[in-house]
Amino acid sequence: MRSNTTPAARGHLGPLCRERPDALAAHDLTSGMRWTYAELDATIGRFASLLRRRGVEPGDRVASLAKNRVELVMLHLACTRIGALYVPFNWRLADAEIASLIDDAEPALLIGDEMLPHPAFRDMSVMDLAHGARHERELAADIAAAEAPSLILYTSGTSGRPKGVVLSERNIRHTAINFSWCGRVNHQSVVLCDTPMFHVIGLIINVRPALLQGGTLFISDGFVAERTLERLGCPSLGITHYFCVPQMAASLRGHPSFDRERLRRLTAIFSGGAPHAADAIRAWCRDGIPIADGFGMSEAGTVTCMPIDISAIAARAGSAGLPPPGTQVQVRDADGVSCPPGTAGDLFIRGPNVTSGYWRQPETTRAAFDADGWLRTGDIARIDADGYLWLVDRKKDMFISGGENVYPAEIEAALTQYPGIVECAVVGVPDLRWGEVGHLAVVSAAHLNVDFEALKNFLGKRLARYKIPKYLSTLPELPRNGAGKIRKDVLRSMLETQRKPPRPPPDQ
């Protein structure tokens, strides 16, 4: 039953329900279900009513552990409607890691995908939520306060402790505005989302700009190169925008069914989440397909993006592009002074898209910002004379494998419990398939041989598969500096001479 509340006061989709009620808002490619803007808004209201009836109060957390589906978008917006925080968990994590996140978030409700191997954690399935909501009265509410927390996205901390990035509706809305500006998103845009919706790319950058502008979302349960290529090239779907990490882009180009002619109708393919080789970007440009690389993070969504112009992209292949209006980027030297154009330094960002901090970690939050509200990204970058951002390196030891952040300290901490290892260190190394993978160096007791398969099985019970190193070397000692700290730059060079040429590893 519909409420008497006017569309303008009905949350995020109110204006669109009035202006484009019958326009297609979302299509779930797995279930085949479709929602107009009016239907999507009504279903969100019913989800909100069900959550309220299940005892969810303002400020409570509602977590999910499920693969992509339109219902997860509606769940997030339903949480916002009642003042709760949505917390999507990474379903690639090991059970122990999921349990740690549950302990930290303390969700009032955990909604899971019955196809995933974590049934013990689940309070109700996504299908239970969808079916149960059909019988609910629609809950209408005023648009949530802009500063109210709406979302917690977890990233792993360098110490192994998870960090929950808290994003408000104001943060999310400005990310939607930023990407709409960078990506030319409008009411005619059709976005294919098959990046996981526990990441800012999948849940926010893919979804919110389209809904803000009145475009259409196609939601897929995951990336399969052949299937994605077919969808991107299908005239009846009419996809205009697609966002992926560089490893996904490489899989598309390398697939036998790749046909550049079918993809030239796209507004652009957008790339982020990991380093993207300049040669690979130029190859897309030669095919006549704009591939706009950018820089973003869970804490800020879209920060910069290349202009959608093939000649501009090819001329600056490797650049992360320009910031949209309202977002500030700054590169500083060791004294905190802005660097001149072309000089590398610490990257800081500021704007309404930037998080207010981390869930229940006030000290980490204070350390992340300077006195003027600039966020320390932890990246080394330079800005050229024309204002284009170039990422040089990551200040910390973190590396990115298949679009997933991997923190060596977390792996090293897990191995302190492994018998026979005196000390160890992990560094990221190049890999043809995943961009980067881990190479583990160990010093063993009495120089005993370490069984790599047994070690991987040990880690597999504690960490996600993508975090498990793909290479192992045994060393008599680890290189250290005068202060006793491990020289990972030296270690990386040492290991390079021992490693065979990289080859595609088994699926993560």
Q: How far apart are CA 202 and CA 205, in angstroms?
A: 6
Q: Summarize pLDDT for 315-365 with one digit per residue, the tens.
A: 999 999 999 998 999 999 989 999 999 998 999 999 999 999 999 999 999
Q: Is the pLDDT of residue 70 over 60?
A: yes
Calculate the average pLDDT of the chain. 89
207 found inside a domain: no
pLDDT of residue 122: 75
Looking up residue 449, the CATH number of its domain turns out to be 3.30.300.30
Could you report the per-residue pLDDT of 249-273, keeping only the tens digit for each? 999 999 999 999 999 999 999 999 8
* Higher local confidence (pLDDT), 290 or 279: 290
Domain that holds residue 473: 399-498
- pLDDT at site 14: 67
pLDDT score of 4: 36
Q: What percent of the chain has pLDDT over 70?
A: 91
What average pLDDT does range 108-122 have in this prediction? 75
In this model, does residue 457 exceed pLDDT 90? yes
pLDDT at 156: 60
pLDDT band at 76 (very low <50, low <70, confident <90, very high): very high
Q: Is residue 489 part of a domain?
A: yes
pLDDT given for residue 67 in this prediction: 94
* In a domain? residue 348: no
For residue 131, pLDDT beyond 70: yes
pLDDT greater at residue 413 or residue 238: 238
User: What angle is formed at CA 355 by the lines to CA 14 and CA 66, rounded to 5 degrees?
Assistant: 65
Strand order in the sheet with 435-444: 421-431, 435-444, 471-474
Residue 322 DSSP code: B
What pLDDT shows up at residue 357?
97
Of the candidates 105, 48, 109, 113, the one whose C-alpha atom is nearest the C-alpha of residue 74 is 48
pTM for this one?
0.84
For 150, how many CA atoms within 13 A lie in the half-sphere containing its CB?
25
Mean local confidence (pLDDT), 278-288: 94
Q: Residue 500: which residues within 8 A CB-CB, separation 6 or more? A: none
Predicted confidence band of residue 117 (pLDDT cuts 50, 70, 90): low
Place of tokens 């993070």: 297
- Asked, for residue 30, whether it belongs to a domain, the answer is no
> Lowest-confidence range among 19-23, 63-67, 242-246, 355-359?
19-23
Which helix (H) or strand (E) covers residue 411, if one does? helix 408-414
Is residue 94 within 8 Å of residue 463, measured between CB atoms? yes
Q: Name the burial class of residue 434, with classes exposed (0-12), middle (13-18) and buried (19+) by CB atoms within 10 angstroms of its CB.
A: buried
Range scoring the smallest mean pLDDT among 3-12, 130-139, 337-346: 3-12
Give the residue, 121 or 501, on which the prediction is more confident.
121
Amino acid identity for residue 469 in this structure: P
Percent of the chain past pLDDT 90, that is, above it, reads 70
pLDDT tens readout for residues 484-508: 568 888 898 899 877 755 455 555 5
Q: What is the pLDDT of residues 202-215, one digit of tens each?
A: 999 999 999 999 99
Residues 360-381: what's their mean pLDDT? 95
244 lies in some domain: no
pLDDT for position 6: 36
Q: Classify residue 206: in a domain, yes or no.
A: no
Mean local confidence (pLDDT), 26-54: 96
Whether the pLDDT of residue 454 is over 90: the answer is yes
How many distinct structural domains can be found in the chain? 1
For 41-68, what is the HEC assignment?
Answer: HHHHHHHHHHHHHCCCCCCCEEEEECCC
**Spatial distance between the Cα atoms of 279 and 285, rounded to a whole number of angstroms:** 10
Cα(250)–Cα(264) distance, rounded to whole angstroms? 17
Domain membership of residue 151 (yes or no) is: no
Question: Per-residue pLDDT averaged across 449-476, rounded?
Answer: 93
Give me the pLDDT at residue 95, please: 85
Three-class HEC string of 124-190: EEHHHHHHHHCCCCCCCCCCCCCCCEEEEEEEECCCCCEEEEEEEHHHHHHHHHHHHHHHCCCCCCE
Q: What's the confidence (pLDDT) of residue 116?
A: 61
For residue 80, the model assigns a pLDDT of 94
In a domain, 423, yes or no: yes
pLDDT digits (tens, 9 = 90+) for 195-243: 999 999 999 999 999 999 999 999 999 999 999 999 999 999 999 999 9
